[in-house]
Amino acid sequence: MEPYQIHAILQILAFLSFLNGVYYAKKHTIRMHHYFIFIAVGLTTVAIIYMIHITGGVSSTHGKVGILIYFYVLFTALSGKAFLMRKISRKQHQYLAIIAILLIILQILIGTYTFIL
């Protein structure tokens, strides 16, 4: 199996975990929401560190945009803590999460176009 395939599998599993986290947030099951978001952030971290280790750095546009999206996803995950502390509203946290999901979808499409097609 090629390194980029392992990276892609880990990222897709993280994306599915993000979607599960959104589902449980809609059902107001906060414990499961946190569980799936933590799994997704962990899988994303492992996938990015693995790819940086294998390639020796961030050389492509896909990688550079991916690092920016990763930091945005971390910011969004941490905004959940701000929501729980009543620093931001539920809607603000939802908008940050929706933008994060859309950026991840865009990154999947860019990676598919750049490296597969």
Predicted confidence (pLDDT) per residue in 64-101, tens digit: 999 999 999 999 999 988 998 999 999 999 999 999 99
**Cα–Cα–Cα angle for 4, 99, 79, nearest 5°?**
100
**If you average pLDDT over residues 32-49, what whole number do you get?**
96
- Residue 19: other Cβ atoms inside 10 A: 14
Using one digit for the tens of pLDDT, what is the confidence trace for 44-60? 999 999 999 999 999 88
Q: Is the pLDDT of residue 117 over 90?
A: no
Tokens 């971290």, located at residue: 45
Give the residue, 45 or 2, on which the prediction is more confident. 45
Q: Where are the domains of the chain?
A: 3-115
Q: How many CA atoms lie within 13 A of 30 on its CB side?
A: 5
